[in-house]
Chain A
Amino acid sequence: MSRHRIVRTMDYNDEYDGYDDIYGHSVEDEHCISPTDAQQWLYDRARGQQSISAFISKNKDIQEEEADEEEDAAFEKARRDSESFQMPQLDEIEQAKLSSCVDEVRSVVGDAVSERRIVETSMKFDYDMQKILDEILNEETKKSAKPSVNRMKAPAAPVLPKTVSKTVATPPPKISLKEPRRGFEIPSPKVPSSPVVSGRNTPVDISGDDISRSSATLFKVSKEQAVRNARQLYEKERADQKSHIHMIVIGHVDAGKSTLMGHLLYDTGNVSQRVMHKHEQESKKLGKQSFMYAWVLDETGEERTRGITMDVGQSRIETKTKIVTLLDAPGHKDFIPNMISGATQADVALLVVDATRGEFESGFELGGQTREHAILVRSLGVNQLGVVINKLDTVGWSQERFTEIVTKLKSFLKLAGFKESDVSFTPCSGLTGENLTKKAQEPALTSWYSGPHLLDVIENFKVPERAIDRPLRMSVSDIYKGTGSGFCISGRVETGVLCLNDKVLVGASREQAQVKSLTMNEFPQTSVFAGDQVSVTLPALDINNVTVGCIISDPQTPIPVTTRFQARIIVFNVKVPITMGFPVLLHHQSLIEPAVVCKLTASIHKSTGEVVKKKPRCLGNNSCALVELETSRPICIERYADFKELGRVMLRVAGVTIAAGMVTKIR
């Protein structure tokens, strides 16, 4: 009714009746506050690297997003203790020292000790970490009979005496240039060897970059998500399960990859007799009976009529100790982009070669896929390789042929950067099923071969270490309509852990979404971990903002988004040299994006890593260089030093892979 009020004669004192009541009160949640005020209340890692726990105990006024957790009595008391605690008056340097010190201590002892206690102890020992910790921990054990054991699993190693303030960032891990390396042997990222089990899944300090990066972090997450202990969760959930491993099957076109896998699936009982019979009848009808096993994985009509795999086929088998996800890659040259997106998901690879005379040679010579695939998977970070000499029955299980192929491949694989101990050679036949899941029975073969059969080889693959403690990164490889509402995004969790109802950021647009359902192999899950192949339902997300190849990341440490970055590349055999302005296709995980080589920074020596020439005019065959790449659209990418999995790129031109590289700098 305010329209009808007589404004002119209004008594303002009456109108602002309640004004005096509010005046002088603290700012409440529904009120707007100025940015400087907001800064005071908001958690910002850039300032002094405070941990969340320190923040919680210092600011009593902030409401928890989910305030329903039941904290144990001791913690409650400690919190109250610190509530009334005022920070002592110190000058700036002292303050910085103190806060870094408190932070360090917190990362070891967790929330169990009050802020006041830590501060007092720190001042007492003049910020000497070792002494402070001794003091506090000793007291703790004396005080309570139940120390927080899980928090102290790795107490000594990661705690370095650090007296300087943290704002003086530790230098980012540098790739040491001196030590000789060959092929793709590159130093792995500097991750603490025994991850700190500190009750937080955000890394405490990876590199100097992290500090500046997190300044943009204003995305809220639930407290549960923020302080989750990934390793513990993993141990709880997966302790009783077999370890997962992803295996990609690669090789020249018509080497028999799909048939081999189809037969393996059949022999391990993953394909029913009925289905197999159907395939047999149908393939017979088309006059392609030899394709009956391949049809297990080649499902689309196009693939079946043409008799070649076009997209990566997926299925899984269980061995005695492992669950193996098989990725059946296409061998045809035109489908290498599909193969690359499959290979980025793989931990180990199975290289299938055709032993038939002439066939092996054509696949192995320059331009053959045996060669390109092996180099590709190696540069995508696969270092365990099982070589299967297939179709050996066509040459009468001849040992000479086997050894001939093995010697040829051995020298090549060594050049490509595989360690000899990580490569195994197995003779078999995908069509007849010889030496597949049972020991060889063919007398011609048993006379000279007594090694393991294929399933054993797969069994013997080592499961690589999963980076569960790192922030979440998941690469999207497929988007499809799910059964329920919304659409499903499937992909591989590269690092970290993802739980139901977690908030995540999607792609370069950093759109926020909440995980509504998680499935792995059609089974719903509550949490998934690094290395898993999962489907995620994200409702209320614009489908146009999600593309194949984008990265889903943790809101607390979002993935960098850029259009320009520097990479260290190794140039393969190229027809024409790479110059500046060279248009390439950038392959990053499942992403394919046009890019331009916009600057050749330096060419470097292949084995020593020294700069040979600054700003070279062009890059020829087998050279190694630092270049800058620019994409037309922003992409999500990580430095190799931070995230091995997300720092690898491939450059392709006109259907040929011209270079592989690691991201060294992001603009």
Chain B
Amino acid sequence: MKLLGKYVDKGMQGNVTLMPEESEDMWHAYNLIAEGDSVRSTTIRKVQNETATGSSTSNRVRTTLTIAVESIDFDTQACVLRLKGRNIEENQYVKMGAYHTLDLELNRKFELRKPEWDTIALERIEMACDPTQSADVAAVVMQEGLAHVCLITASMTLVRSKIEVSIPRKRKGSVQQHEKGLAKFYEQVMQSILRHVNFDVVKCVLIASPGFVRDQFYDYMFQQAVKMDYKLLLDNKSKFMLVHASSGFKHSLKEVLQDPAVLAKMSDTKAAGEVKALEQFYMMLQCEPAKAFYGKKHVLQAAESQAIETLLISDNLFRCQDVGLRKEYVNLVESVRDAGGEVKIFSSMHISGEQLAQLTGIAALLRFPMPELEDSDDDDDEDGAAGGADSD
């Protein structure tokens, strides 16, 4: 993302001009734009003209429109952001108050005006415009008969394809069926890698599986590559890396990202950092349960006594429609920062973020134990905490 202009006054009101450059920027834009903001961007609109004789013609014109956003739609697979709202600046084609749906496009700037910019939003812009954060990794988690081909970017994990093949088991006298099924499965996975992995962008391809599936697949793939002359695979052979995972399901990516060999190669990407932070939270919950809490109510109480050392919060909480609720979370983040704590905002598109979102979306590691919090939860509190997260 490129920041082209920023005018935010003392009252935190103002506008920002941004230019998305890659598909991931759409995700950032999705997290930035809230209902009630106004967005100005160039777009294509079908305009109907009525001639003097009464016949009407319609033609498509490119025009610049400003709309007050009413609903936001994000397609995770195609990374397309669609904003629907009323026109608030009349021009020759479009009347005031007419509805229009803006498709934000890559490499076209848009101007975002918010009634109030909070720290989370400003941070998001900074993060989106940081050019160093682009470690693209492709990962294939597989087991016999099941594979997920995923792309891991700084703030998103995208499942590009899921391959499910039922492979006949070995049985007396018919080993061929098993081996045939396996070969068919490997072929599909390989084709999916060729189709979905862009080797110009991707720095490394992780192949993770239990047992020997990864080795078998790796051998198969390069045998085929030599046989069929897949240049793309042969040229990028060094990018492949074999890692252990316990299963072929999506959440075993978590194990993959914790593997020391992977960590060394990926250095400090957000995905790996988040996995580590969540792991720390669970370790603390195991060892010292009085120092780890989750759920809005507990965390707010802990924040009141300035006890929070690390706050883990999922970004889906900031995307909620309720302005007051968002403000509450923003205030929480700010108060934790003021008290010298660390705040980690998880991307809900990562595996660990998904898990955190399930875990009410908010969790905290404390500086000192607060057993009184633990005792206070008797009847109604968890419902309240869960309710807070579910509202999203």
Give residues in A with beta carbon < 8 Å to B.
299-303, 306, 310-315, 332, 334-335, 337, 477-481, 490, 543, 546-548, 574-577, 579-583, 585, 592, 594, 596, 598, 614-615, 617-618, 620, 652-656
Min CB distance, A590 to chain B, in Å?
10
Report chain B residues within 8 Å CB of A614.
378-379
Q: Could you give 19 example pairs across A and B, Cβ below 8 Å?
A: A299-B170, A299-B175, A300-B175, A310-B212, A312-B169, A478-B168, A480-B168, A480-B177, A575-B286, A579-B282, A579-B294, A580-B358, A580-B359, A581-B359, A583-B354, A615-B377, A617-B294, A654-B252, A654-B255
- Would B246 and A334 count as touching, CB distance under 8 A? yes
Q: Find out whether the CB atom of A576 lies under 8 angstroms from the CB atom of B283.
A: yes
Question: B379 contacts which chain A residues (CB < 8 A)?
Answer: 614
Cβ-defined contact, A481 with B172, below 8 A: no
Kindly list chain B residues whose C-beta atoms are within 8 Å of the C-beta of A302. 212, 216
| A-contact bits for B132-169, CB 8 A (1 contact / 0 none) | 00000000000101000000000000000000101011
Q: Which of chain B's residues have a CB closer than 8 A to the CB of A314?
A: 171-172
Taking the closest CB of chain B, its distance from the CB of A581, in whole angstroms, is 3
A576-B286, A594-B249 are known contacts. Are A581 and B210 too (CB-CB below 8 A)? no
What 4 pairs between A and B have smallest CB-CB spacing?
A581-B358, A655-B246, A480-B168, A576-B282
* A332-B211 CB under 8 A given contacts A583-B355, A585-B249, A614-B379: yes
Are the C-beta atoms of B247 and A655 separated by less than 8 Å? yes
Q: Which residues of A contact B145 (CB under 8 A)?
A: 548
Query: What is the number of residues of chain B that contact chain A, defined by CB distance less than 8 Å?
Result: 47
For B358, the closest partner residue in chain A by CB is: A581
Of B246, B255, B279, B285, which is in contact with the most chain A CB atoms at under 10 Å from its CB? B246
Nearest-CB distance from B185 to chain A (Å)? Answer: 13
Please give me the residue from chain B that is nearest to A299 by CB atom: B175
Chain A residues, CB < 8 A from B77: none
How long is the Cα–Cα vector from A199 to B185 in the complex, in angstroms?
Answer: 48
User: Which of A300, A480, A547 lies in contact with B179, CB distance below 8 A?
Assistant: A300
**Minimal Cβ-Cβ distance residue in B for A480:** B168
Q: How far is the CA of A605 from the CA of B122 in the complex (A)?
A: 50
The answer to whether the Cβ of B369 comes within 8 Å of any Cβ in the partner chain is: no
By the criterion CB–CB under 8 Å, are B179 and A334 in contact? no
Contact of B169 among A335, A477, A583 (CB under 8 A): A477
CB distance from B256 to the nearest CB of A (A): 11
Q: How many Å from the CB of B376 to the closest CB on chain A?
A: 11
Query: Which of B168, B246, B357 meets A481, CB within 8 Å?
Result: B168
Other A-B contacts than A314-B171, A315-B172, A614-B379, 4 sampled, CB-CB below 8 A, are: A334-B246, A478-B168, A478-B171, A654-B254
Given the interface pairs A481-B177, A581-B358, A655-B210, the reply to whether A548 lies near B166 with Cβ below 8 Å is yes
Tell me the nearest residue of chain A to B146, going by C-beta: A592
For B294, the chain A residues whose CB sits under 8 A away are: 579, 617
**A377 CB, min distance to chain B CBs, angstroms:** 20
Contact residue among B171, B210, B378 (Cβ-Cβ distance under 8 Å from A335): B210
Indicate if B203 sits at the interface (CB-CB under 8 A).
Answer: no
Contact flags B327-364 to A (C-beta < 8 A → 1, else 0) = 00000000000000000000000000011111110000
Q: Which residues of A contact B178 (CB under 8 A)?
A: 300
Contact A581–B252 (Cβ < 8 Å): no
Q: A581 contacts B356, CB within 8 Å?
A: yes
B86 proximal to A (CB < 8 A): no
Residue B174 lies at the interface, judged by CB distance under 8 Å to chain A: yes
- Tell me the complex Cα distance, A653–B211, Å: 16
Q: Given the complex of chains A and B, what is the CA–CA distance between A575 and B279 in angstroms?
A: 10
Determine if A617 and B249 form an interchain contact, defined as CB atoms under 8 angstroms apart. no
A579 CA / B250 CA spacing, docked (Å): 19
